[in-house]
Structure 1
Amino acid sequence: MALDDQPGSGPAPSEWRGRFYEDLTIGGVFKSRLGRTVIDADNVWFTCLTMNTNQMHFNQEHAARTWSGQCLVNSTLTLALVTGLSVPDTSENATANLGWDRVTLPGPVFVGDTLWAESEVLSKRESRTNPDVGIVRIRSRGINQRREVVIEFERTFMIYKRTVPEARASFPGTDTPWSL
């Protein structure tokens, strides 16, 4: 399926609520609208937050003596970032992630790299135990500014159907007329 044939590929809606189970089709491909540049603070804070003591991520003198010659961005930050970049297109209305599988890191990520996400819907099915949700499996990859793939993985999540109460719009609205 071409990107232009997918729901939501036309003019931008006045209210974006993300895609629901019904909006995702097997073979549908989504490319993140935004890229995200990894800065040093991202890498250092994430490494400290997760208590990762591998000096490759925070000690430039140590990293200078390794194969890369510089600090390597924490690979779990790469996974989290590319997952996050895929959310507006695929799982903004998910109720739970069920798993990440087959994570591979074909290329390194360094501070200063900008990443984008590309995702494809691999399968979907109705939940056997909850009629309000479906189960969707996608594959995603992170692509840097040099067009290099730096991470690939599969992710399975449970996502709401459009008609359930949990899917209603959360914007509160108002009865107050505009004053300007």
Structure 2
Amino acid sequence: MRPGVIEVGPQRYRESFGRYFEEFTVGDVYEHRPGRTITETDNIWFTLLTMNTHPAHFDHEYAAKTEFKRPLVNSPLTVAILVGMSVSDVSQKAVANLGWKEIKMTAPVFAGDTLYGETEVIEKRESSSRPEQGLVTVKTIGKNQDGKTVCEFLRTMLIWKKGFGPGDS
């Protein structure tokens, strides 16, 4: 049987996503694939959903007068897609996201760009108050189809240890 698949009964299997606290190693890097191409519709819907009324995200005439010459993808959408891409690798077994910091948008993202992500484990420690869980801090980097870094951030999560999570029964 391939890794990531568990037997749940006779001739019955289930994919097992995510990693337990014990399965993280500082220095490991996870490449998140497939990539995700952002459409103009994605950007407009996200902009409306979050009530971000800045015309740089949806007004082509306004954007044409900026240094970018076209609408920018809403920055929180870029972060959200990169977080989503990383879930199966780093936070599928998280109890909670404890925080994001050092969020940097290093290059513009436009409709039609394809994002690729990678996440490095930079810190891991036992929880002092929750012996069945541990804290993991990762650095995620998002790149576009040309390999240019467009976003990076640190994220700290509380992760279940083996045998203690709600899906471990």
The reply to whether TM is greater than 0.5 is: yes
Specify the alignment match of 2:91 in structure 1: 91
Specify the alignment match of 1:131 in structure 2: 131
Amino acid at match of 2:62: H
2:80 is paired with a residue whose SS is helix
Tell me if the contact between 2:93 and 2:165 (Cα under 8 Å) persists in the aligned partners: no
Distance 2:133 2:31 in 1: 24
Distance 1:71 1:41 in 2: 12
1:108 is paired with a residue whose SS is coil
Unaligned runs of 5+ in 2: 6-14
2:146 is paired with a residue whose SS is coil
Residue 75 (structure 1) aligned with residue 75 (structure 2): yes
Distance 1:112 1:84 in 2: 18
Distance 1:13 1:101 in 2: 30
- Report how far residue 19 of structure 1 moved: 0.9
Specify the alignment match of 2:116 in structure 1: 116
Amino acid at match of 2:122: L
Tell me if the contact between 1:125 and 1:134 (Cα under 8 Å) persists in the aligned partners: yes
Distance 1:90 1:38 in 2: 22
Distance 1:81 1:33 in 2: 12
State the percentage of identical aligned residues.
Answer: 45
- Report how far residue 165 of structure 1 moved: 4.3
Unaligned runs of 5+ in 1: 1-10, 170-180
Specify the alignment match of 2:162 in structure 1: 162
Higher strand share: 2
Spell out structure 1 runs of 4+ moving beyond 4 A: none
Distance 2:63 2:139 in 1: 31
Task: Give the total of aligned pairs.
Answer: 160
Distance 1:116 1:53 in 2: 27
1:100 is paired with a residue whose SS is strand
Specify the alignment match of 2:54 in structure 1: 54
- Report how far residue 167 of structure 1 moved: 3.5
1:52 is paired with a residue whose SS is coil
Distance 2:112 2:37 in 1: 6
Specify the alignment match of 1:39 in structure 2: 39
Residue 26 (structure 1) aligned with residue 17 (structure 2): no
Q: Pick closer, same or farther for the CA change 1:125–1:69 going to 2, 3 Å.
A: same
Tell me if the contact between 1:18 and 1:89 (Cα under 8 Å) persists in the aligned partners: yes
Q: Which range moved further: 159-168 or 97-106?
A: 159-168
- Cα deviation code 1:34-92 (max 9, x no counterpart): 11010111101111111111100011111011000000000010011111111111111
Tell me if the contact between 2:4 and 2:17 (Cα under 8 Å) persists in the aligned partners: no
- Report how far residue 13 of structure 1 moved: 3.2
